[in-house]
Amino acid sequence: RSNPHRRPAGPALEEAVALAAALPGLDVVGAEVVGLPKAQPGRLFGKGKLEELRLRMEEAEVELVLIDGPVTPVQQRNLERDWKVKLLDRTGLILEIFADRARTREGVLQVELAALSYQRTRLVRAWTHLERQRGGLGFVGGPGETQIEADRRALDTQILGLRRQLEKVTRTRALHRAARARVPYPVVALVGYTNAGKSTLFNRLTGAEVLAKDMLFATLDPTMRVVRLPGGGDAILSDTVGFISDLPPQLVAAFRATLEEVLEADVIVHVRDIAHPETEAQAEDVRTILASLGVTDAVPVVELWNKADLLDDDARAALEVQAARRGDVAVASALTGTGLQAFSDRIAEALGEERLRAELHVP
Ligand code: GDP
């Protein structure tokens, strides 16, 4: 169990399960919160729990175990051997999902780079652990170390190669961006917590078939579409990555270039699942990520309080009152299409462009 202080166990477990479901082909057979004993450096769990879990996994024929938190390389190796399963920790799982969702060359390279950097830090940790096991007996240059040094050098070479390729791709994208800047369309960037409804909204507004499954991370690479507005104007709609709480720092670094696309936007649309019990905490996560990317008050943010169809009439009416008071919010449902007119009005106001006041085309 990771971050026990951040969230109550229930929603955290739900989030972890949803994260697992984001990887196609996985069938989640069980999930539970396990309190961990203080000192179990080798195996994470206490003896009794270890055996209990082993029996249950054997029974359910479990092949993959996800631990929603950090697992050291030594723990991973031991647990995989004890349980005869493949094990992924949170970062490992997120990397798998990102790899699965990467749709552009840049996205693929970013994931590979993040995976290699992750492997490299784990090598270092494995090495430090070996050192400690030797109990400071001065075994400098033992066989383990030589092998790890060699592995590390090989990884460094690969990482350098990937960095170079990525730089090239990033330069190409800068050219694309410059070309886009010559097109006088305002850029509207969709951001939001994973599963908030960004893809659904994007599809509804563009009529395009992008991923809209009930998964976290429906999008990895920014996708751009021109939205034709019946009033005569056009806007470029940009669907960016899905945000997630506790995105491992290596991944934030790896995807910085992609995330920074939002800095180019004329208006940012923050899509929120307003029916989610953790909607406030999720919104805070998104704001924190935006701030860390350098998004300032100079870029107007419109909040789309999505999934309003899931609320009862009273709750929805209360939200409408709040939204009217704030002025930068639209209560809507990307699924049913209600409220999207008000949404397009909010965007138009944020852009300060009369021509965008026209109805967004809602198929
Ligand atoms: P993304 O991760 O932000 O791109 O989220 P998606 O667009 O993939 O939506 C996640 C899930 O929420 C999908 O199952 C959608 O069908 C569902 N969804 C999206 N918008 C709405 C909405 O307005 N109402 C309801 N009830 N479900 C929605």
Q: Using one digit for the tens of pLDDT, what is the confidence trace for 213-229?
A: 333 333 434 466 667 54
The single-letter code of the amino acid at 13 is L
Q: Using one digit for the tens of pLDDT, what is the confidence trace for 118-173?
A: 888 777 555 555 555 555 444 444 555 677 788 888 889 999 999 999 888 878 77
The gap between the terminal CA atoms of the chain, to the nearest Å, is 43
Q: Does residue 277 surpass a pLDDT of 50? A: yes
CA of 214 to the centre of ligand 1 (A): 7
Backbone phi, then psi, for 8, in 5-degree steps?
-60, 155
Q: Is this prediction's ipTM beyond 0.90?
A: yes
Angstrom distance (rounded) from CA 122 to CA 70: 11
Angstrom distance (rounded) from CA 76 to CA 73: 5
Q: Using one digit for the tens of pLDDT, what is the confidence trace for 178-188?
A: 666 666 678 88
CA of 334 to the centre of ligand 1 (A): 7
Give yes or no for residue 244 CB within 6 A of ligand 1. Answer: no
Give yes or no for residue 199 CB within 6 A of ligand 1. Answer: yes
- Calculate the average pLDDT of the chain: 77
CA-closest candidate to residue 41, choices 11, 72, 84, 62 = 72
Angstrom distance (rounded) from CA 346 to CA 270: 12
Q: Using one digit for the tens of pLDDT, what is the confidence trace for 58-76?
A: 999 999 999 988 888 888 9
Q: What pLDDT score does 124 carry?
A: 59
Mean pLDDT of the region 45-64: 92
Give yes or no for residue 310 CB within 6 A of ligand 1. Answer: yes
Give yes or no for residue 339 CB within 6 A of ligand 1. Answer: no
Would you call 315 helix, strand, or coil by DSSP?
Answer: helix
| 3-class DSSP string for 185-246 | CCEEEEEEECCCCHHHHHHHHHCCCCCCCCCCCCCCCCEEEEEECCCCCEEEEEECCCECCC
Angstrom distance (rounded) from CA 26 to CA 258: 27
Question: At 195, is the pLDDT very low, low, confident or very high (cuts 50, 70, 90)?
Answer: confident
- Whole-prediction pTM: 0.69
Pocket-testing residue among 200, 221, 279, ligand 1, by greatest number of atoms within 8 A of Cβ: 200
